[in-house]
Amino acid sequence: MVDEVEDKKPLWRDAFDTSFLIFAALALVGGVVCYSLLGVDAVKASLRDDSELVLFLIPKLGAAVLIARFIQVLLPADFFGRYMGEEQGLKGMAIATAAGAVTPGGPMTSFPLVTMLRDTGTGVSALVAYVTSWTTMGLQRVFMWEVPLMGAEFAAVRFLASMPLPIIAGLVARLLPAEASRPTDEGK
């Protein structure tokens, strides 16, 4: 699996990494500004809301990470990737859309797959459709963040509204001149 590497680091270092520190610093600055502008009551109200939200989230987060991981085991992204290079046109974009939706994790796991697909001859419209699908319809993001925080109805509406987007982006990409033919190896 693609994200095997990131699982090798010790847990504590992974949990309290740079993005944790950045957010901790932001939270601290936010708290201080809030205190000095609005007073201690605003800080207390904010902390009360925050703890409610976190307590509401924890039981859902447990189920969400399980769902995301099980989907990944059942439908590995490379499964679709195998067919992406072979299919042209709308069918290729449709497969790319399915592959993008089931690709787990952040950009460090999806972009290596995009690079590999390009090197094996996948056209630019399918690549654009794949990246668009992964960012707008990524199921891991939907289950880990959107459903717990915004509710299933919001997530379902957004997911449905996003369904045409990868194909539209892929079709527009095909009209653009820059990378009409097989891409070069630049930027690698």
For another protein, the binding residues in 42-101 under the rule CB under 8 A are 42-43, 45-47, 49-50, 53-54, 57-74
Kindly determine how many residues on this chain lie close enough to bind another protein according to the rule CB under 8 A: 92
Residues 121-140 that bind another protein (CB under 8 A): 124, 127-128, 131-132, 135-136
Question: Quick one: which segment of 79-87, 89-97, 113-121 binds another protein (CB under 8 A)?
Answer: 113-121
Q: How far is the CB of 8 from another protein (least distance, A)?
A: 11
* Token couple for 178: 């820059």
Judged by CB under 8 A, the residue of 91, 121, 150, 182 near another protein is 150
Nearer to another protein, 95 or 131 (CB): 131
Is residue 123 within 8 A of residue 94, CB to CB? The reply is no
Largest CA distance in the chain: 62
Shortest gap between Cβ of 42 and another protein (angstroms)?
A: 5
The residue among 27 and 91 lying less far from another protein, judged by its C-beta, is: 27
Tokens standing for residue 156: 């379902």
CA torsion through residues 115, 161, 164, 83, sign: positive
- Residue owning tokens 């601290």: 28
Query: What is the three-class DSSP state of 175?
Result: helix
CB of 157: closest distance to another protein in angstroms? Answer: 5
By residue count, the chain amounts to 188
Residue selected from 5, 89, 108, 182 as contacting another protein according to rule CB under 8 A: 108
Q: Give me the least distance between CB of 135 and another protein, in Å please.
A: 4
CA atoms of 115 and 143, how far apart (whole Å): 26
Residues in CB range of 87: below 8 A, 6 or more apart = 95, 126
